[in-house]
């Protein structure tokens, strides 16, 4: 969806697979002898995140909470409490457009660990799944030394898929910062964190992909600076059923996958968890509301909307600073 541009010969590139996708870290000016140790460190960290947050692994910490048929406080790690706290807060900011309790609907529509449905879910099924969602059903309890999650309905299903990559990108970036590394690009699939410059001494450049069936067509090139950036899109992860196209982003208000013409939203902010959570919420809002939200919050966003003969670009006021040079 977005990626670093060009073969950066002067940067050391480390990569691997995680969370059912890929990761890549580019570091400038690194001692090559330390590269393998760094690669292993990042891989181990991301594998640990996956064991924490995955809805595809039945024994992840998150899935153990989801399966627990209890409404009593459930002990979790500090990391889990922090991720859920931030996700609930961002969810509330978007008036529930981004909602990590959307899991039963994600599963009903076949975008989670449950299989793709063979026919379009009927209104009763949608209403039943929707009744099991809602930010108000999930609480984080923070004591000085212990943290808990608590649900007030036993069959809540928390889905952190939309914040996991961003969380992991922030974590790797913090670790690199702690090592005094000043020039890097961290990519955890669609969530990026950038700092400093690339191997040529220029700002890191990020390509926003042109939606469509052909891979790798560039719509625009951005220079986000020392920030996180991510893009949510409805054009890559979808299936067709009964002649309709269903994208993997669900509107929690209707209980159905998005059908409007907004195809992607790119968000820039200091934290990748924040951009990764918000891009999904902004997709749900649709272009008009997303741009109003972004201008109210001084948030740089870039949107692509499908038109009869191509795509229309619209961006928020704060985005002007990252606007590609003509």
| Contact residues for ligand ADP, defined by CB under 6 A | 98-100, 102, 106, 111-112, 159, 161-162, 190, 232-233, 237, 248-250, 252, 276, 280, 284
The entry of ligand ADP, Mg ion, none near residue 106 (CB within 5 to 8 angstroms by kind) is ligand ADP
Supply 103's token pair: 């899991």
Residues 227, 271: Cα–Cα separation, whole Å: 7
- Report the nearest approach of ligand ADP to the CB of residue 182 (Å): 28
Q: How far apart are CA 155 and CA 178, in angstroms?
A: 40
Within the chain, strands assigned E span 2-4, 11-18, 21-28, 74-76, 138-142, 147-151, 184-188, 191-195, 206-209, 218-222, 228-233, 238-241, 244-247, 250-251, 256-257, 262-269, 301-307, 310-315
Closest contact distance (angstroms) between CB of 311 and Mg ion is 20
Return the one option of Mg ion, ligand ADP, none that residue 26 interacts with (CB less than 5 to 8 A, by type): none
Site string for Mg ion, 236-275 (x = CB under 5 A): ----------------------------------------
The helix/strand count (H/E) of the chain reads as 8, 18
How many Å apart are CA 265 and CA 295, to the nearest integer?
Answer: 14
Q: Which does 102 bind (CB under 5 to 8 A by kind): ligand ADP, Mg ion, none?
A: ligand ADP
Under rule CB under 5 A, residue 280 binds Mg ion? yes
Kindly state whether residue 8 participates in binding Mg ion, applying the rule CB under 5 A. Answer: no
Query: Which CB, 170 or 276, lies closer to Mg ion?
Result: 276
157: its two tokens: 């299903």
Identify what 169 binds: Mg ion, ligand ADP, none; CB under 5 to 8 Å per kind: none
Selected range binding Mg ion among 100-108, 221-229, 278-286, 309-317, rule: CB under 5 A: 278-286
Kindly state the helix (H) or strand (E) to which residue 65 belongs, with its residue range: helix 61-67
- At 269, give phi and psi (nearest 5°): -165, 160
How many residues touch Mg ion under the rule CB under 5 A: the total is 5
Question: Of the candidates 312, 313, 219, 318, which has an alpha carbon nearest to the alpha carbon of residue 268?
Answer: 318
Give the rounded distance of the alpha carbon of 64 from its chain centre. 22
279 lines the binding site for Mg ion (CB under 5 A): yes
Residue 98 interaction partner, one of Mg ion, ligand ADP, none, beta carbon < 5-8 Å per kind = ligand ADP
Decide if residue 232 touches Mg ion (CB under 5 A): yes
Of 107-115, 177-185, 194-202, 229-237, the segment contacting Mg ion by CB under 5 A is 229-237
Task: Name which of 33, 141, 144 is nearest 88 in CA terms.
Answer: 141
Q: What does the binding site for Mg ion look like in residue numbers (CB under 5 A)? A: 162, 232, 276, 279-280
């Amino acid at each position: 969806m977005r990626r670093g541009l060009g073969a950066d010969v002067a940067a050391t590139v480390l990569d691997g697979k995680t969370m059912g996708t890929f990761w890549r870290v580019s570091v400038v000016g690194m001692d090559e002898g330390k590269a393998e140790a760094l690669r292993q460190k990042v891989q181990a960290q991301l594998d640990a995140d996956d064991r924490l947050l995955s809805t595809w692994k039945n024994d992840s910490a998150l899935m153990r909470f989801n399966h627990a048929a209890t409404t009593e406080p459930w002990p979790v790690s500090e990391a889990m409490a922090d991720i859920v706290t931030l996700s609930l807060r961002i969810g509330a900011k978007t008036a529930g457009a981004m909602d990590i309790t959307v899991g039963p609907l994600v599963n009903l529509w076949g975008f989670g660990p449950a299989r793709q449905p063979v026919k379009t879910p009927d209104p009763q099924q949608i209403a039943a799944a929707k009744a099991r969602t809602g930010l108000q059903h999930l609480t984080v309890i923070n004591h000085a030394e212990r943290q808990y999650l608590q649900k007030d309905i036993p069959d809540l299903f928390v889905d952190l898929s939309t914040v996991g990559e961003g969380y992991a990108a922030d974590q790797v970036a913090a670790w690199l910062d702690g090592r005094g590394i000043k020039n890097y690009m961290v990519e955890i699939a669609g969530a990026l964190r950038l700092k400093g410059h690339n191997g040529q001494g220029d700002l890191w450049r990020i390509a926003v992909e042109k939606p469509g069936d052909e891979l790798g067509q560039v719509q625009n090139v951005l220079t986000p600076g020392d920030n996180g950036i991510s893009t949510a899109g409805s054009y890559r992860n979808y299936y067709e059923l009964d002649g309709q196209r269903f994208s993997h982003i669900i509107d929690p208000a209707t209980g159905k996958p998005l059908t409007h013409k907004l195809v992607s939203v790119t968000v820039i902010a200091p934290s990748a968890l924040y951009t990764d959570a918000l891009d999904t919420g902004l997709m749900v809002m649709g272009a008009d509301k997303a741009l109003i939200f972004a201008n109210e919050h001084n948030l740089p966003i870039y949107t692509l909307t499908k038109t009869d003969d191509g795509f229309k670009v619209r961006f928020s006021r704060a985005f002007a600073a990252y606007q590609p040079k003509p």
